[in-house]
Chain A
Amino acid sequence: DQQVKQNSPSLSVQEGRISILNCDYTNSMFDYFLWYKKYPAEGPTFLISISSIKDKNEDGRFTVFLNKSAKHLSLHIVPSQPGDSAVYFCAAGILTGGGNKLTFGTGTQLKVEL
């Protein structure tokens, strides 16, 4: 059962334009969401997160939007740069006293072209 889904395996965008990466989830118990970026031969790098009580969080060029009723979140990158080319993972978690396990999507390969 894939509780976090990234339905687009790849996305190609021109430099300077907006990149929009999408993620859907099925578990309404998730109370926070994160985006990670991964380059080959490296571990995932944390980008930005959002609590389920918010609908938007912004950090520089990166903005995450959360639509709880649709169980959908998206990551906007504006403007896109060639260095943004990587695999982007959406992850979701439930904060409890017993820890914070993350459930990941399968990733979207973003390619930013010159």
Chain B
Amino acid sequence: ETGVTQSPTHLIKTRGQQVTLRCSSQSGHNTVSWYQQALGQGPQFIFQYYREEENGRGNFPPRFSGLQFPNYSSELNVNALELDDSALYLCASSLVSRETQYFGPGTRLLVL
């Protein structure tokens, strides 16, 4: 059973650019969630996808968007990057209506 994987591991962008982060869910999981973890903080919920549709969203602006594909892999897209978007982005997969989410290693994004 493969775990959650994310790519890339690190990324450097400049303000105003766009970025796409990728995630492969744990085998058999049909739900994927994305979280942003700023330095010294806990992960903050961005959104969740189930059956390729957004299934809940946190307090993030529309320039944060996502996709889920039929094989349950997922993308997080961030447009018009701001300095405060610098953070660790975590993907987690789970079965819908089940409690436990399993996290990938994260993508560390630095916006200059």
Question: Can you show 29 pairs from A to B with CB atoms below 8 A apart?
Answer: A32-B99, A43-B6, A43-B90, A43-B92, A43-B104, A43-B105, A43-B106, A46-B100, A46-B101, A46-B103, A49-B99, A49-B100, A93-B99, A95-B97, A99-B33, A99-B48, A100-B31, A100-B97, A100-B99, A100-B101, A101-B48, A101-B58, A102-B33, A102-B45, A102-B101, A104-B35, A104-B42, A104-B44, A106-B41
Cβ contacts B4-18/A at 8 Å (1 or 0 each): 101000000000000
Tell which of A14-22, A34-42, A63-71, A75-83 binds the partner. Answer: A34-42
Q: Which residues of A contact B (CB under 8 A)?
A: 4, 6, 32, 34, 36, 41-46, 49, 51, 89, 91, 93, 95, 97-107
- The reply to whether B100 and A34 form a contact with Cβ atoms under 8 Å apart is yes
Chain B 39-79, CB-CB to A under 8 Å as 1, else 0, gives 01111110010100001101000000000000000000000
Residue ID in chain B nearest A106 by CB atoms? B42
Q: Are the C-beta atoms of B96 and A100 separated by less than 8 Å? A: yes
Interface residues of B (CB under 8 A from A): 4, 6, 31, 33, 35, 40-45, 48, 50, 55-56, 58, 90, 92, 94, 96-106
Cβ contact within 8 Å between A95 and B4: no
Q: Which of A43, A45, A101 contacts B33 (CB 8 A)?
A: A101
A89 touches B43 (CB 8 A): yes
| CB nearest neighbor in A for B48 | A99
A104: chain B residues at CB < 8 Å are: 35, 42-44
Complex Cα–Cα for A105 and B40 (A): 11
Give min CB distance, A110 to chain B, whole Å. Answer: 15
